[in-house]
Structure 1
Amino acid sequence: MLYGKTVLCVVLSLLTTGVFSSITEPNFADGRTVIVHLFEWKWTDIAEECERFLGPHKFAGVQVSPPSEHLVFADNPYSEYDYPWWERYQPIGYQLISRSGTPEEFADMVTRCLAVDVRIYVDAVINHMAGGGYVFPKVPFDEGDFNVKLGLCPTEDGGIHDVNDTVQMRYCNLLALADIHYGELNNYYGRDKVVEYLNKMIDMGVAGFRIDAAKHMYPAELDDVANRLHDCTFGGRPYIYQEVIDRFSNEAIKPSEYFETGDVTEFKFCDQMALLGRASVPADRFQNFGFDPSWGMMPSESAIIFVENHDNQRNHGGGGDILSFQEPREYKIGIAFGLAWNYGTARIFSGYVFEHSDQGPPSDTSGNTNNVVINAEGMCDGGWICEHRWREIRNMVCFRNVAGDEPVENWWDNGDNFIAFSRGDKAFFALNNERIRQSETLQTGLPPGTYCNLITGEPTATGCSGSSVVVNEDGYAYVDLLPSTDERDAMVALTIAATSGRSDYTGCVVEAAAVQLKFNLLLIAITVLVQLIY
């Protein structure tokens, strides 16, 4: 019964294609559900990663660093670290020339990733240009194309001094960066140049955009831009998700103002996952996480969720005491729960080691970004962390894919830090965040069978590469978990696609050819059996 139901679900999934209709549809292919931000990777490395890892492991997409021309801080005046990461957020033109590569390399990356069903989402810096002046001949822009020079900013120095003044927030310069005018005072020239830049990438196959500093733009202006974008080359509207920081619900500018334009980054998710991962609050409180109004979070259908991003990892925009690779035990707990849960659209982060918040990616002395090094164990070296390749994280991407839109059911907790729940009859997750061993017989919602715990490994032809869990005829399983350490994860993640002894399990799901072959064999066996009976 388990195998037949699994085959049917997988076959239907493989035969079904998405229908995209709006800027809030993420354009994911084949039931894929998770974006990974490959922070500061070169286009050539991303293309290879799509083909060798992200495509086979069923990642939905890659958020790439800003591809536009940018200032180069060869002599960083703010710290000892030259070529800082944030130079990418100071554009000087809209040609696709950056330290990640050339226009040709960018186009090749998009094409190769799209060929393996991995979409590309561009981090679009369109609120401002670089600091230090108002003339940008490479666009071209001059003083008449900026809000401060047009007299729309009410402060004397053109900076933002009152975050509760929405006019300052949207018409003055953020951190001295030249704020672009989108209106009629320059005959909408600023808007049109930005639309031209974005459409150029859509026509190459880009699937959507993260709008940097969206909070500092009027929603109507962003909506105007979105409405002028071309359709995606593979069909449907480009996906828009916007950076609007609102950690404490006391901001003058609310995320809800931007829901009509696209999805919005939910920074409160980061804070809550830090509390969960560190057991600062008991896990049993997360039974209605995100959905109950008491959490103060945006609607699930509008939320982009993440445990960290490139800013708050460094205690910059939206920064705080959040989880990152520097706390691997707690980090994996936060990531695993977030991907197992059914709230929001998920994005994970993949970065590099840094000692100072300014520090750019692994590079040579001239600021040329180094290649990403993949070692013999399939992990990364050379200063790159590649969190998305960690077994627990890549396999929880699989979990979320299989769980799909199934609701949270069969919630159980011990009144403290041992919790479990199912995602309908597709998946089951348990977490022991206690300091002592915990065990319990729990309802998984799953059909009977032996399942591989994806936290510890994957199915093999003879069983599981990690631990396994047996589900009985009534859907119950005995869960026994020692407390977590940096090397041991006190979690269980089961899906109907990851059963013990499944030799056709590749990259989260059963391969289509193998499914068809076994389905055909099953039909033949049934036919023969019927003939024998009659």
Structure 2
Amino acid sequence: FRIDAAKHMWPGDIKAIQDKTKDLPEGGRPFFYHEVIDQNDGAIKVGEYTPLGYVTEFRYCQKIAEGIRNFGMLHGVYDPGWGMTDSAHAFVFVDNHDNQRGHGGGGNLITHKHPRDYKMAVAFTLAYNYGFTRVMSSYYFQSSDQGPPHNGDYSAKDVTINADGSCGNGWVCEHRWNPIGNMVAFRNAVAGTGVDNWRNENEEVSFSRGQKGFFAMAKSGHMDRTLHTGLPAGEYCELVSDCKKKITVDGSGNAHIVIDNSAEPVIAFIVGGPTGSTGSFGGGSSGSGSQSVTSAPATPVPSVGPAPEGWARTVIMIERQTMPGQDLFIRGGIDHNHRQGCTTQASTSACAIPIKTLHLGTGSHYAQYNAWSTGDHYLDWYGMETGQHSYHGHSPSGTPAVWTTNVEGAAGYTPLNTYGQHYWLIDVQMDCSRTENGWFELKALVNGQWEGNIGGQTCGTPPYSSQNHWAKCGFKNVFHFNSGRCQISDLS
């Protein structure tokens, strides 16, 4: 929910209204953010509203504009001395519908009317680790009171898509521009990491986000340097170019970074990103093709012993950054081309593997998981089983996973998770006799969206090649969504 003009309402009154809203059907509270225009020049401060949720940080619009005009100031886009709220509560954007027209916190900022600067500003915002980011999508206007593109009867014109992927009929569609749309994947991939390897000189800026992503930008449109990325060795897809460029990171974490695009002087790449010259994210460039994904090679893990012959506890964890309202399921078993007697019904298919879901917890965090697990007797490729329960009218899409964290005391904490947030967990007893020498395939889907093809799995020696994850019955199997990185270890 967006609370408009929140600064004109007493925080206690807003809290009373928010407290009356119901929890989400899938668990958790609704998302609230509050419009509070605070330029550190009045009696109302954003800090009065942070206990209620995220708060708009209009000062960021001015700070990022200053930074794009003078890269030397990019290190100061978050200025607590000016009263800017902390990252955990800041709702940030380069511009919005008001201030791009000179209203509501307007000032010397950047809008789509200066596309080169705007692309750099939004790309940096999505790459940096300050606040919860929002991307703007506009229509062209000449006066501040001008409405959207319309037909003769004043109905809004359709958004048409041009051959190059841009929008027509008077719509700007900044969200489709590659340095913006494709950087959303970067933002999601690096969530929860800090800024490392910061370099800011000669109107160039570059930094890594933990060991998950690297970003660089050159105001001149040109850069040719070897930089330390902090990422694992391997070949990476460059996101902004739709993978038309590849970047190789060596064993020391260094990479030769070349920027040669004056209009879009930005590069970014992530561990677990798409591969292939046609790996478009659907932004402002044409092209279609495979979303096959691999990651940089990981350090090999020690091999584990043979799988048990009968039933055994089996754990599957998949790292996937998600938002409230998103759920992760897995499907799996044995490939129909590698076993006879496979059908499209889990109860009769030789490719389905019998499972018994283990109890993980109670309360709202586990409510949907417990409901969807009831009647789920197989790991299979076919979706909802006959007799498998729904949750508040929402049907399962396979075997459900539950979101976990390694933060003790937080909802979703489990000692099985020693890695971080957003590791989705399945904990079952599995009939290992129905696997292939202990091995079985699986793939995740989030709200109906499948992972891409998995290549270059880094652990174990599966019995045949596959474009899915390979897991081992009787062990703890840890994967990353859209990535071949994995870890298989004993359950202790």
- TM-score tier (shorter): 0.5 to 0.7
Which of 84, 93, 103 is equivalent to 1:297? 84
Higher-RCO chain (CA-CA 8 Å, sequence separation at least 6): 1
Cα gap change, 1:367/1:323 in structure 2, threshold over 3 Å: closer, same or farther?
same
State the Cα distance separating 1:221 from its structure 2 match: 1.0
The superposition leaves residues 446-487 of structure 1 with CA deviations (integer Å, 9 ceiling, x where unpaired) of 1112222212223xxxxxxx22222111110112334x63xx
Distance 1:517 1:422, change over 3 A: closer
Q: How far apart are residue 443 of structure 1 and its match?
A: 0.6
Asked whether 1:451 is paired with 2:236, we answer yes
Contact 1:311 1:319 in 2 (8 A): yes
Secondary structure of 2:32's aligned partner:
strand
1:275 to 66, 69, 73: 66
Q: Which has the higher helix share?
A: 1
Question: Counterpart of 2:247 in structure 1: which amino acid?
Answer: V
Q: Name stretches of at least 5 consecutive residues in structure 1 with no aligned partner.
A: 1-208, 459-465, 529-534
* Amino acid corresponding to residue 457 of structure 1 in structure 2: D
Amino acid at match of 1:492: I
Task: Map residues 308-347 of structure 1 onto 2, 5 A cutoff.
Answer: 308-347=95-134
Structure 1 residues 436, 347: CA separation in 2 closer, same or farther (over 3 Å shift)?
Answer: closer
- The Cα shift of 1:245 comes to 0.5
Cα RMSD of the aligned pairs, angstroms, is 2.7
Q: Distance in 1 between matches of 2:221 and 2:152?
A: 49
Q: After the TM superposition, which residues 358-437 of structure 1 pair with which residues of structure 2 at under 5 Å, given as runs?
A: 358-414=145-201, 416-433=202-219, 435=220, 437=222
**Which whole-Å CA distance do the structure 2 matches of 1:430 and 1:421 have between them?**
7
Alignment partner, residue 480 of structure 1: 258
Per-residue CA deviation, residues 151-178 of structure 1 (Å, 9 max, x unaligned), is xxxxxxxxxxxxxxxxxxxxxxxxxxxx
Note if 1:229 corresponds to 2:21.
Answer: yes
Aligned with 1:445: secondary structure? coil
Q: In structure 1, what is the Cα distance between the partners aligned to 2:42 and 2:137?
A: 29
CA distance in 1, matches of 2:252, 2:230: 9
Contact kept? 2:240, 2:267, Cα under 8 Å: yes
Q: Is the 8 A contact 1:450 1:500 kept in 2?
A: no
| Residue of structure 2 aligned with 1:287, choices 75, 78, 82 | 75
Matching of residue 471 in structure 1 with residue 246 in structure 2: no
Q: Match of 1:306, as an amino acid? A: F
Contact kept in structure 2, 1:497 and 1:509, CA below 8 Å: no
Distance 1:517 1:270, change over 3 A: closer
Deviation at 1:524, TM superposition (A): 3.9
The CA distance in 1 between the partners of 2:460 and 2:5, in whole Å, is 56
Q: Which string of whole-angstrom CA distances, capped at 9 and with x for unpartnered residues, describes residues 125-154 of structure 1? A: xxxxxxxxxxxxxxxxxxxxxxxxxxxxxx
User: Deviations along 1:395-450, whole A, 9 cap, x unmatched?
Assistant: 10011011111111111222x411110001100001112x4743221111111122
Q: Identify if the C-alpha distance between structure 1 residues 436 and 451 changes in structure 2 by more than 3 Å, giving closer, same or farther.
A: closer
User: Which secondary structure state, in structure 2, belongs to the residue aligned with residue 350 of structure 1?
Assistant: coil
TM-score, normalising length from structure 1? Answer: 0.53
**Helix, strand or coil: the match of 2:67?**
helix
- How much does 1:489 deviate? 1.8
Deviation at 1:523, TM superposition (A): 4.1
1:210-229 correspondence runs (5 A): 210-229=2-21
Q: 1:436 to 1:222 in 2, by over 3 A?
A: closer
1:260 aligns with 2:51: yes
**Alpha carbons of 1:436 and 1:517: their partners in 2 closer, same or farther (altered >3 Å)?**
closer
Within 2, Cα distance between the matches of 1:327 and 1:525?
A: 53
Letter matched to residue 495 of structure 1: I
CA contact (8 A) 1:308 1:324 kept: yes
SS of the equivalent of 1:239 reads coil
Q: Displacement, 1:500? A: 4.3
SS at match of 1:349: coil
Q: 1-side partners of 2:208 and 2:463: how far apart?
A: 32
Match of residue 268, structure 2, among 486, 490, 493: 493
Change (3 A) 1:329 1:509: farther
For the 8 Å contact 2:32–2:52, the answer to whether it is kept is: yes
1:66-101 deviation per Cα after TM superposition (whole angstroms, max 9, x unaligned):
xxxxxxxxxxxxxxxxxxxxxxxxxxxxxxxxxxxx
In 2: Cα distance, 1:521 partner to 1:298 partner = 42
Instruction: Give secondary structure in 2 for the equivalent of 1:450.
Output: strand
Contact 2:242–2:277 (CA<8 Å) still a contact in 1? Answer: no
* CA contact 2:37–2:58 (8 Å) conserved in 1: yes
- 1:229/1:525 Cα in 2 relative to 1: closer, same or farther (>3 Å)? closer
Q: Which has the higher strand share?
A: 2
Q: 2:54 and 2:292 mapped to 1: Cα distance?
A: 28
* Cα pair 2:214 2:270 within 8 Å, conserved: yes
How far is 1:235 from its partner?
2.4
Aligned match of 2:431? none
Comparing 355-364 and 306-315, the one that deviates more: 355-364
Tell me if structure 1 keeps the 8 A contact 2:90–2:131: yes
Number of aligned residue pairs: give it.
303
Structure 2 CA distance for partners of 1:321 and 1:396, relative to 1, 3 Å = same
Give the distance between the partners of 1:407 and 1:307, measured in 2 at CA: 21
CA–CA distance in structure 1, aligned partners of residues 20 and 144 of structure 2: 37
Counterpart amino acid of 1:410?
A: N
Looking at structure 2, the residues matched to 481 and 469 of structure 1 have their Cα atoms a distance apart, in angstroms, of 11
Name the CA distance, whole Å, in 2 between partners of 1:392 and 1:517: 26
C-alpha deviations, 1:185-213, integer Å up to 9, x for none?
xxxxxxxxxxxxxxxxxxxxxxxx11111
Structure 2 Cα separation of the partners of residues 319 and 525 of structure 1: 59
Contact 1:270–1:307 (CA<8 Å) still a contact in 2?
Answer: yes
1:173 corresponding residue in structure 2: none
What runs of 5+ residues in structure 2 fail to find an aligned partner? 283-290, 294-442, 445-449, 466-492
Deviation of the 1:527 alpha carbon: 9.2
Q: CA deviation at 1:370?
A: 2.0
**TM-score when scaled to structure 2?**
0.57
Structure-1 separation of matches of 2:134 and 2:177 = 15
